[in-house]
Amino acid sequence: MQKNSQEFSMEEAVRLAQTPAAQQLLATLRDTDQAQLRKAADMASTGDYKAATQIVKQVLSTPEMQALLKKMEE
């Protein structure tokens, strides 16, 4: 995947999703506060992307999540 690219192919997305770091990230997300994730999804579905983004940023800001995201960049 191109590190600075805003767009990448579906093939690249599938490949990234299959990495051990991505699988661990998804498992960790399943164990997080599901109410917060539902709230973010609801906000996004009504067009409030700014609030949804803020919630997702909070969820992803934990040290564990940051470490997993960093692994995915490698």
Q: Which domain holds residue 54?
A: 33-74
CA 74/CA 63 separation, integer angstroms: 17
pTM listed for this prediction:
0.60
Could you tell me if residue 10 is inside a domain? Answer: no
Could you tell me if residue 57 is inside a domain? Answer: yes
Could you tell me if residue 20 is inside a domain? Answer: no
The tally of domains found in the chain comes to: 1
Could you tell me if residue 72 is inside a domain? Answer: yes
**Residue 2 C-beta-side C-alpha neighbours within 13 Å:** 6
Could you tell me if residue 8 is inside a domain? Answer: no
Could you tell me if residue 38 is inside a domain? Answer: yes
Q: Which residues of 17-40 are buried (b: 16+ CB within 10 A; e: fewer)?
A: eeeebbeebeeebeeeeeeebeeb
What is the pLDDT at residue 1? 43
Note down pLDDT in tens along the chain; length 74 residues.
445 455 678 888 888 888 888 888 888 888 877 888 899 999 999 999 999 999 989 888 889 888 888 888 77
What is the pLDDT at residue 39? 92
Could you tell me if residue 21 is inside a domain? Answer: no
